């Protein structure tokens, strides 16, 4: 019965994981009697695929990015969710309730810098690409996703047209050509903890970074800041790996995590946006700068194209790997 009294919840690390361990997991245990074993990974879906393929799933719930939820739901990697039993989807943001995923929160990735080292704040991707005006290394995540969009915006494509352009071969070539211009000045990051560390140490002059990491460093006293102009936002999702044990407890956890009072408490202690509309309406004003889905930030940021990346991700990531190795 030990298995029935606990679930392993695997999320991404950092401040977000620590916030869940304080503001989400203990209240769930108190309400349900089910203990949460907290673990972390970097979003490597290959680990989950290997567990599912070998019928040896030990994780009950995982956090995954939007495009992965769409793609791997279709490929049978995740269990389908019964939304009638979870929550009234009308109370949630658009796309928060997916067939195989329930949105954890709205997160963002944006142009970030250290205001102690960079006295004039950059205003967008054109500045990020301008190595003459602002010399120094730039930190970018070592993936095609985000970078191709940022490259097109740096090349003058309006936010509203990014995916229209990127869906064409010419648009993809244009994005890679723009990345070519910056290649010699890039320091690649893979873990979300790296950009704030590099900015604080002066290893890079600017970086793309997860907004929660920058807000967390700012709260700790580092003079880090970000602009949402051309930043991107999306949702991570809770999902149940196919064939996971103790699925009822996992489904109970997902239903608990979308409650407005739980989401509000989490957002007040972690600067990511709630996906429950009731919770979003109750947030204090001082959080607005850091939260991607606050009204002023939504006006200038780009919603990550989950469907686009679900359809084109494999080929573009392969092209990116080949390009970065050249």
- Tens digit of each residue's pLDDT (9 = 90 or more) over 89-134: 999 988 999 999 999 999 999 999 999 999 899 999 999 999 999 9
pLDDT of residue 321: 97
- Tens digit of each residue's pLDDT (9 = 90 or more) over 145-191: 999 999 999 999 999 999 999 999 999 999 999 999 999 999 999 99
Q: Where in the chain is the domain with CATH 3.40.190.10?
A: 2-106+234-294, 108-233+300-325
- Tens digit of each residue's pLDDT (9 = 90 or more) over 3-45: 458 999 999 988 889 999 999 999 999 999 999 999 999 888 9
- Tens digit of each residue's pLDDT (9 = 90 or more) over 216-251: 899 899 999 999 999 999 999 999 999 999 999 999
Contact 111, 125 (CB under 8 A): yes
pLDDT of residue 271: 85
| CATH number belonging to domain 2-106+234-294 | 3.40.190.10
Please tell me the distance from the alpha carbon of residue 103 to that of residue 306, in angstroms, as a whole number: 13
- Tens digit of each residue's pLDDT (9 = 90 or more) over 52-80: 999 999 999 999 999 999 999 999 999 99
pLDDT of residue 266: 92
Please tell me the distance from the alpha carbon of residue 17 to that of residue 191, in angstroms, as a whole number: 14
Taking the whole predicted model, whether its pTM rises above 0.85 is answered as no
pLDDT of residue 2: 43
- Tens digit of each residue's pLDDT (9 = 90 or more) over 300-324: 999 999 999 989 999 999 999 999 9
Pairing mode of beta strands 302-303, 35-40: unpaired
Is the pLDDT at 1 greater than 70, yes or no? no
pLDDT of residue 220: 92
pLDDT of residue 283: 79
CATH superfamily for domain 108-233+300-325: Periplasmic binding protein-like II (3.40.190.10)
């Amino acid at each position: 019965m030990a298995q029935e009294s606990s679930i392993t919840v695997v999320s991404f690390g950092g401040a977000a994981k620590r916030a869940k361990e304080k503001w989400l997991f203990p209240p769930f245990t108190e309400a349900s009697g089910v203990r949460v074993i907290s673990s972390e990974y970097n979003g490597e879906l290959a680990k989950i695929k290997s567990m599912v393929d070998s019928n040896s799933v030990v994780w009950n719930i995982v956090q995954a990015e939007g495009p992965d939820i769409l793609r791997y739901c279709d490929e049978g990697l995740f269990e389908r969710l019964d939304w009638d039993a979870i929550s009234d989807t009308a109370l949630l943001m658009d796309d928060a309730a997916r067939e195989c995923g329930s949105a954890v929160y709205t997160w963002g990735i944006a142009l970030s810098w250290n205001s102690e080292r960079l006295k004039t704040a950059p205003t967008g991707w054109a500045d990020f690409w301008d190595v003459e005006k602002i010399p120094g290394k730039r930190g970018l995540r070592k993936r095609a996703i985000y970078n191709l969009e940022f490259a097109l915006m740096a090349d003058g494509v309006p936010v509203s047209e990014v995916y229209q352009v990127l869906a064409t071969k010419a648009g993809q070539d244009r994005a890679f050509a723009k990345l070519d211009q910056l290649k010699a000045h890039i320091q690649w990051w893979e873990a979300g903890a790296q950009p704030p560390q590099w900015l604080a140490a002066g290893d890079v002059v600017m970086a793309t970074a997860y907004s929660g990491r920058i807000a967390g460093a700012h709260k700790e006293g580092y003079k880090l800041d970000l602009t949402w102009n051309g930043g991107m936002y999306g949702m991570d999702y809770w999902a149940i790996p196919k064939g996971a044990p103790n699925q009822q407890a996992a489904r109970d956890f997902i239903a608990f995590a979308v409650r407005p009072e739980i989401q509000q408490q989490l957002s007040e202690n972690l600067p990511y946006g709630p996906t429950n509309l009731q919770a979003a309406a109750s947030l204090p004003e001082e959080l607005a700068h850091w939260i991607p889905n606050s009204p002023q930030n939504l006006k200038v940021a780009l919603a990550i194209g989950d469907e686009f990346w679900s359809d084109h991700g494999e080929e573009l990531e392969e092209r990116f790997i080949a390009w970065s190795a050249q």
